[in-house]
Structure 1
Amino acid sequence: MKVLKDYESSQKLNKEKTSLFFSKNTSRDVQNHVKQQFGAQIIQHHEKYLGLPPLVGKGKRKDFNKIENQVGRKIVGWKGKLLSNAGREILIKVVAQATPTYMMSCFKLPDTLCKELNAMMSKFWWGQKEKERKMAWVSWEKLCTPKVEGGIGFRDLKAFDLALLAKQGWRIQQNPSSLIHRVFKAKYFTSIPFKEAQLGSHPSYA
C-alpha cells in the first residue's frame, strides 16, 4: 500500500479499471483482506493486456489464435480485390507480416502457428481465392530470400521471432539495472551469467 501511495503522489490509480488476480493457492481470507485494503474487484480470468495474453497455459496454440484470426481477416478482405504482384507484396510485408511483430517480441510463437501464417500469406501471394487451389511455383522459403538472391524479401516468421527475442536478450544483458533483468536474474540466473541461464522447473512462457 505504501508503494501505491508513493505512486499516486504523481498519478492517481483508477481502481474501477483495476483488477486483482490470485493463484489457486491463495486462501479466501487472504483474498478478501487484500481486496478490502486495495479496493478493487477480484477476477477469475485474465483479460488481454496490450493485446497479449497475461498467462500462457499448456494450450499455447489457443492463447495465440488471435494472431491467426487477425491476419486471416485481413487477407480475406484483400482476396476480392484486383491487386498486382506489387500490391500483394506491399500488403504482405507492411500489414500481414507486421501484425504479429509486437507479440513476437515478447513470446516465442508455436512453430505450427508460424507455418500456418506463412501458408496463408503464400496462398494470397499466388492469387488463391476462397477454397480454390493454385500452384505455388516457388517455395515460400525461396520467396523469403533477399531480392538480390532471387527472392521477394518476405520474412520467415519463425526466424524473425527468434531475432526479436534475441534482441530482448541483448537488452537484458546491456541493462542490468532494469526491472526485467532483476526479476529474471532472481529466478533463472542468480549466480551465473545470462547466457548460461537454464529454464529450470516450471518456467514462465516469457
Structure 2
Amino acid sequence: MGEADEHCKYLWLPNIIGRNKKAILGFLKEKAHTQIRSWDGKYIARSGKEILVKSVVQALPVYAMNVFLLPIKINRDIEKRLSRFWWNAKQSNGVQINWMPWERLEKHKSAGGMGFRNFKDFNLAMLGKQVWRFLTNPESLVSRLYKARYYVDGDFLNSPLGHNPTFIWRSIVEAKKILRDRVRWRIGTGQDIQITGQPWLLDK
C-alpha cells in the first residue's frame, strides 16, 4: 500500500487542508466550471437549464459541504459562472448581460425568483446536520472524539473554538452558532438539563 501524500484525496475530499483553503478546495469550482463549459454552445431551453443548474451543478459540492465550510470566494465564483450560463446573453461587443442579479434568482419562485440555492446558506445547513448529530447522538465515536479534543469538561453547545483547531471543527463551530440561538431543550425527567443555564423556554 502506497503512502498517501498531502495531495491525495480520501472519499473524494482532500486528505490534508492547509492554510490556503481556496487553492485546496478549488477543485470544486473547477468541476463546476468544466461541467458548465460542456454545455456552452448548445441550445438548451430555459426549463432544461433550470434542471441542469439545480440537479447537476448545484449538487456537485454537496458532499464537501457536509464537512467543510467552503470559502466565500469559491461560492461566488460558481454562482457567477451559473449566472452567465443562465442568461447567456451578450452585446455586440461581447459584454455579458445579466438581466437580474443572482441574489434575486435565489429567491423562491413565489417571490419572483427561480429557487436556486444560496451556496453559503446551503453549506451552513449541511453542517447544521452534523451539529444536530453531535447534539442528539453524543455517544457516537465522532462525538466522543471531538469531546475529548475540544470540550472535555463542558458541553457541545458551549464548547470553545479551542487551540489550533482543525478546519473541520472551525466549520462545525460556524454552524453551531446558528443552532445555538434557536434550539431549546424538551423537558423530560430533567436530569440532563441545567434549568437556570440552558434554553428551554420558547420566548427566551
TM class by smaller structure: 0.7 to 0.9
**1:56 maps to which residue?**
17
Distance 1:196 1:128, change over 3 A: farther
TM-score if structure 1 supplies the norm length? 0.76
> Would you say 1:103 and 2:64 are equivalent positions?
yes
CA drift at 1:45: 3.1
* Percent of pairs with identical residues: 37
Distance 1:132 1:102, change over 3 A: farther
> Would you say 1:80 and 2:41 are equivalent positions?
yes
**2:173 maps to which residue?**
none
CA drift at 1:46: 4.9
> Would you say 1:115 and 2:92 are equivalent positions?
no
> Would you say 1:89 and 2:50 are equivalent positions?
yes
* Number of aligned residue pairs: 166
Distance 1:178 1:79, change over 3 A: same
**1:183 maps to which residue?**
145
Of 113-122 and 188-197, deviating more is 188-197
Whole-Å Cα distance in 2 between the matches of residues 43 and 138 of structure 1? 46
Find 1:160's aligned residue among 114, 122, 137: 122
**1:125 maps to which residue?**
86
Paired amino acid for 1:185: K
CA drift at 1:44: 4.2
Say what the alpha-carbon RMSD is for the aligned residues.
Answer: 1.6
> Would you say 1:135 and 2:97 are equivalent positions?
yes
CA drift at 1:70: 0.5
Paired amino acid for 1:47: C
CA shift digits 1:138-174 (9 cap, x unpaired)? 1111100111111100000011001100111001111
Q: Which has the larger radius of gyration?
A: 1
Secondary structure of the residue aligned to 2:161 is coil
